[in-house]
Structure 1
Amino acid sequence: MSALISAALLGTARTAITFEELPTTVRSSTRELDGDPAELLLAAAALEKAYRRGGAGAITATVPTLAPDDVRFTLPESSSTHLLSMLAAKATLLDEWFAVALSRNYRAPDHLVAELLSFARASETHRESILQLVGERGRWLAAQNPEWSKLVRTRDANPDVWRHGSSAQRTQWLMDTRRTDPTLALAELRKSWGTERGEQKAAFVSALAIGLSTDDQALLEEALDDRRKDVRRAAADVLGRLPESEFGERMAARVQEWVRVERKLLRSTMVVLPPEEVDGPARRDGIEDRPNPHTDYRAEYVRQVISATPLSLWNNMIGGAKKTLGMSVDEGWEPILHDAWSNAAAAQNNVEWALELFNTRGVATDRRLLPLVPAKALADLLRAGNGDANVLHPGRAAIYDALRGPWPEDITRAVVAQWERAAARRADGGAKAGEFSRYKYVASLRLAETRFPYSAVTLLDRAAERARDPDWRQTFARTASAITHRKTLLEELT
């Protein structure tokens, strides 16, 4: 068609008409045409248009195998309807709803599978939960539709996708296989490592954090010598999660050179003496100059080394997390050491250190450590708070978020009481009334909808009756209604 358009634009007097690009059927019909070149051009264009509008011819298709049976319980009709409404509204309750539904072995009814796959394609937040709910039948249907086929991950041990797939497919295959067969994934990566493109290597190295073991050391050590900085950084980061490695031993040796403990009668002191400049082996291990407006290069060396050092070193040197954190240290070094120990505890998933750092730092605890802290310790710190800061303080907001529901009754009562104080200040007016608007508390109010116990409905109803500010009155009532609705939705699944 492009040749015909070109001839029409330039004119048949200046351009020879060619029909070579036309479909075979149309081309054979043009041979029967007669007339001047302009008439031939228009007739050929009309023939092709009619051909195109006529639709495609019949083809032979392979009938797919039947979808597998799913013997799980089918969701109740009311729950199915509510699920679609919650997905459309991006409801905060979805995490809890999916957890309950999947724990009770429910599956989506067949007539909803296509609609749920559309939600899974559009949003990543609940994609995995939706795919679990639709099960094998959902994955079967997704494989039949090009728009949904990317939702079906390669989960078998066949390395063909790794050897011939796209960059994204290969990375996904490596991550999935690391979960099921880390030895096979490592072997395949090892085979192709020498020919991999530099921009892909960093993602492949990061995938080794899944199913990480000492078997991965050799390849990670090789990656430390890669010419690309992002690959070297990824390798150092993954090795920092493997305390029982040669990398960890090298970092521990540096700490023992730079840090010493001076034993005194009443209290031991930690002395930190880093070098003015790190050597080549240290730079190979990822220790680099990182300018920081608040600290010098030497402090950053210490932060990086301790972050990658096995926490067991401090148990051997001093006697555990509590004793180490309780030691006297120069004031300028304390925040740097605490940050480094927090990095190490998060990387090594160390519960003992996470708890002791939480006990020491309180609301300033690194958020990455909060999921490792026992619920009782989180609740005790919240109980120790007072005034509006207990809700508004960013650190405490993170602690509230880490405390899974249902919250204890006393914490629930304390939060409602703080909201009531804010509502009273808002009703009283004044120059600072805006600080006590319900909009300032949106995060904690939404959290309460999924974390408050059902008994909080009575507290919230009473707060609504007492509230003098109309916005807060509606907010208390709306939150109580949301908790009641949550109770109804979850009871449908039991």
Structure 2
Amino acid sequence: MSSWHETVKTALLGTDRAELPVQSSQGALGQFVAQLPGQDAAATLLTVAGAMALHQQTGWQPHQAAPPSPTPTQPDLPLCPPALAHQIEALLTSSNASLLPEMLAAFAQTGHRLPEHLLPILLEKGNKLWRIRPSILQVIGKRGRWLAGQNPTWQYASPEIDHWMGLLKAWQTAVPPKRQALLRQIRTIHPERGRQILEHTWKSHNGMVRHQILKILDINLSLADEPFLEAALDDRNHLVRRAASDLLAKLPTSRLSQRMQQHVAGILSWAPGRPPKINVRLPKHIPPAMLRDGVPNIKEEDRMKLRSRLLTQIINRVPLTHWQDLWQKTPAEIAQAAKNSAWPRTLASAFSTAAIRQKNAAWAEALIVASEFNTSAGRLVPLLPADRCFALMQQAAKQSTQIIRPSPLHIFLQHWQQPWSVAMGEFWLDLFAQHLQDANQKKAPDPAIGNLFRRFGQKCTPELAETAVTQLTNIPGLNSAWQKTITYVCQTLQRRQNLLAEIEKIKRNPDEQ
């Protein structure tokens, strides 16, 4: 009988250009072909090919996969009560996952686990939302970790990643987006291990990938990361060098920050007077050492046009305490003097970026006040402690109680990321009620304000659920869109209140089911 190769060759060339394969009369396949009725060459070839393919599959045995690892038999975390499991299931199956991080974080503190039927959907959520992974690992128990090990999609929760070789394997087999999510997860739980996996595989990535994954070191960044980042300042990719410089600038005691204090000598100077101001003298050329530390190389012919950018890139890499020590002035005094300089917006932007990088709350407050609550200072609001944020809100309200942009209060409503305390929540509910009583609210709400209002329901302390219902649901004449927004806020607060109350019961009575 002719080989399969000859049959394929005839099919490719065509029966007009190649003869039909001759089948030996010996063997079952040859006897079958000999019995075929007379037909054209093409039909005969197809019949022969089909018969040969079926003949080759006869007796074939499928690959035997390794049996799954045995399910854990050692004691596991206690199950949560069915009532709470039902409420968490409703969150998991809802299209809106905004409340999930808060509830999982609170539930993780109880030392209980979710029932088995919720594990697949929870693990799938974690596959898409890396921020909830640390909480997931605490609430799925040993059986959940075992289940994650059976599905490559859920390998982020597999017990294998607790060990170096398992983590390395997961890293090497993951596609780039999954790899970045895995690194964010590891940096959140085990920062040193996250940097080690990056160091171990660094040279195997191209420049674009190195740039993307290097920025993830911002999570739990510390001086322990400095040697690796210092080496990255000499990377052949300019984006990697810039990212390394930006990260080192976030560490006021890093070697780069110390070098920048030397680089800026003479660039800014304090000019006493009434009022005092800050004088600026840009360098005529950028030395190689400053270029290595992330200051852009701007051509001399473009320097006048781009000098604001150059000044910003220099100043935002300098520790803010340097200016306080150099001039013996407070952040508030320096922020006000910057307003009186010839470069007020540039200096405010540079100092603001430095404050964000260095997480300096005192400078953030000084710059917000100096800006008179301008929208440009909104990015500094998340740095404030809750008590100082509330104090500034009260100060801004003296200028205007309007909450729409560009009112002074708008920057707090838009940029505050932490939960609103009871006092802060009551403050906003009073302003919301005042806003809704305006006759103009018979019109549909501004989408931006409507979204901020909804987000308030997710961040406000749920203790104010009943207060929100009382103050917001009895206002007549509202547009239907506003009514839907109010309903969402009140229901969200009540739902959070009920869930957190159930979780608190478990904390008080951990053995009660």
Q: TM-score range by the shorter chain?
A: 0.7 to 0.9
2:292 corresponds to? 284
The question of whether the paired residues in 2 share the 8 Å contact of 1:391 and 1:415 is answered with no
User: Which deviates further from its counterpart, 439-448 or 137-146?
Assistant: 439-448
2:344 corresponds to? 334
Distance (whole Å) between structure 2 residues aligned to residue 347 and residue 417 of structure 1 = 37
| Counterpart among 366, 371, 375 of residue 364 in structure 1 | 375
The question of whether the paired residues in 1 share the 8 Å contact of 2:267 and 2:280 is answered with yes
Deviation for aligned residue 1:144: 0.7
Query: Aligned-pair RMSD on alpha carbons?
Result: 4.1
Deviation for aligned residue 1:184: 7.2
Residues 400-447 of structure 1, C-alpha deviation per residue, up to 9 Å, x if partnerless? 54453445354144233234224x3244xxxxxx4x537564213312
Question: For residues 131-150 of structure 1, what are the structure 2 equivalents within 5 Å?
Answer: 131-149=137-155
Amino acid at match of 1:370: V
Equivalent residue of 2:261, what SS?
helix
2:509 corresponds to? none
TM-score by length of 1: 0.79
| Counterpart among 285, 304, 307 of residue 298 in structure 1 | 307
Distance (whole Å) between structure 2 residues aligned to residue 119 and residue 187 of structure 1 = 27
Work out whether 1:95 is the aligned partner of 2:101: yes
Structure 1 residues 277 and 464: CA distance shift in structure 2, 3 A: same
Equivalent residue of 2:318, what SS?
coil
Equivalent residue of 2:356, what SS?
helix
Distance (whole Å) between structure 2 residues aligned to residue 234 and residue 390 of structure 1 = 36
| Counterpart among 427, 435, 440 of residue 425 in structure 1 | 440
Distance (whole Å) between structure 2 residues aligned to residue 381 and residue 173 of structure 1 = 38
Equivalent residue of 2:295, what SS?
coil
Question: For residues 235-274 of structure 1, what are the structure 2 equivalents within 5 Å?
Answer: 235-264=244-273, 268-274=276-282
| Counterpart among 382, 388, 412 of residue 377 in structure 1 | 388
2:322 corresponds to? 313
Structure 1: runs of 5 or more not aligned: 20-27, 428-433
Equivalent residue of 1:390, what SS?
coil
The question of whether the paired residues in 2 share the 8 Å contact of 1:467 and 1:473 is answered with no
| Counterpart among 116, 119, 123 of residue 117 in structure 1 | 123
Distance (whole Å) between structure 1 residues aligned to residue 189 and residue 315 of structure 2 = 32
Structure 1 residues 403 and 208: CA distance shift in structure 2, 3 A: closer
Deviation for aligned residue 1:338: 1.6
- Aligned pairs, number: 476
The question of whether the paired residues in 2 share the 8 Å contact of 1:224 and 1:235 is answered with yes
Distance (whole Å) between structure 1 residues aligned to residue 81 and residue 312 of structure 2 = 54
1:57 corresponds to? 62
2:161 corresponds to? 154
Structure 1 residues 130 and 200: CA distance shift in structure 2, 3 A: same
Deviation for aligned residue 1:309: 0.8
Distance (whole Å) between structure 2 residues aligned to residue 259 and residue 437 of structure 1 = 46
Deviation for aligned residue 1:366: 4.3
Distance (whole Å) between structure 1 residues aligned to residue 68 and residue 109 of structure 2 = 35
Question: For residues 454-493 of structure 1, what are the structure 2 equivalents within 5 Å?
Answer: 454-461=463-470, 463-469=472-478, 471=480, 472-473=482-483, 475-493=485-503
Deviation for aligned residue 1:484: 2.5
Amino acid at match of 2:242: R
Equivalent residue of 2:270, what SS?
strand
The question of whether the paired residues in 1 share the 8 Å contact of 2:271 and 2:277 is answered with yes
Work out whether 1:398 is the aligned partner of 2:414: yes
| Counterpart among 75, 83, 92 of residue 78 in structure 1 | 83
Amino acid at match of 2:112: Y
Deviation for aligned residue 1:377: 2.0
Structure 1 residues 299 and 277: CA distance shift in structure 2, 3 A: farther
Distance (whole Å) between structure 1 residues aligned to residue 318 and residue 11 of structure 2 = 74
Structure 1 residues 102 and 404: CA distance shift in structure 2, 3 A: farther
| Counterpart among 67, 72, 94 of residue 72 in structure 2 | 67
Structure 1 residues 11 and 48: CA distance shift in structure 2, 3 A: same
Deviation for aligned residue 1:127: 4.6
2:210 corresponds to? 201
Structure 1 residues 483 and 403: CA distance shift in structure 2, 3 A: closer
Equivalent residue of 1:260, what SS?
strand
Work out whether 1:389 is the aligned partner of 2:368: no
Residues 290-324 of structure 1, C-alpha deviation per residue, up to 9 Å, x if partnerless? 79x9x842222221111111122112112342332
Structure 1 residues 115 and 7: CA distance shift in structure 2, 3 A: farther
User: How much identity, in percent, do the aligned residues show?
Assistant: 25
Work out whether 1:344 is the aligned partner of 2:354: yes
Distance (whole Å) between structure 2 residues aligned to residue 55 and residue 461 of structure 1 = 73
2:17 corresponds to? 14
Deviation for aligned residue 1:388: 6.3
Distance (whole Å) between structure 2 residues aligned to residue 405 and residue 50 of structure 1 = 75
Distance (whole Å) between structure 1 residues aligned to residue 192 and residue 445 of structure 2 = 56
The question of whether the paired residues in 1 share the 8 Å contact of 2:312 and 2:350 is answered with yes
Amino acid at match of 2:102: E
Deviation for aligned residue 1:13: 4.8
| Counterpart among 400, 421, 431 of residue 415 in structure 1 | 431
Distance (whole Å) between structure 2 residues aligned to residue 72 and residue 242 of structure 1 = 40
Deviation for aligned residue 1:123: 4.7
User: Which deviates further from its counterpart, 350-359 or 388-397?
Assistant: 388-397
Distance (whole Å) between structure 1 residues aligned to residue 248 and residue 70 of structure 2 = 45
Distance (whole Å) between structure 2 residues aligned to residue 63 and residue 330 of structure 1 = 71
The question of whether the paired residues in 2 share the 8 Å contact of 1:178 and 1:208 is answered with yes
Structure 1 residues 145 and 390: CA distance shift in structure 2, 3 A: same
Equivalent residue of 2:380, what SS?
helix
Distance (whole Å) between structure 2 residues aligned to residue 131 and residue 490 of structure 1 = 20
User: Which deviates further from its counterpart, 79-88 or 453-462?
Assistant: 453-462
Residues 147-174 of structure 1, C-alpha deviation per residue, up to 9 Å, x if partnerless? 3335548343348549966674876777
Structure 1 residues 282 and 76: CA distance shift in structure 2, 3 A: same
The question of whether the paired residues in 1 share the 8 Å contact of 2:68 and 2:150 is answered with no
Structure 1 residues 67 and 86: CA distance shift in structure 2, 3 A: same
Deviation for aligned residue 1:397: 2.7
Structure 2: runs of 5 or more not aligned: 505-513
Distance (whole Å) between structure 2 residues aligned to residue 162 and residue 486 of structure 1 = 36
The question of whether the paired residues in 1 share the 8 Å contact of 2:77 and 2:141 is answered with no
The question of whether the paired residues in 1 share the 8 Å contact of 2:277 and 2:341 is answered with no
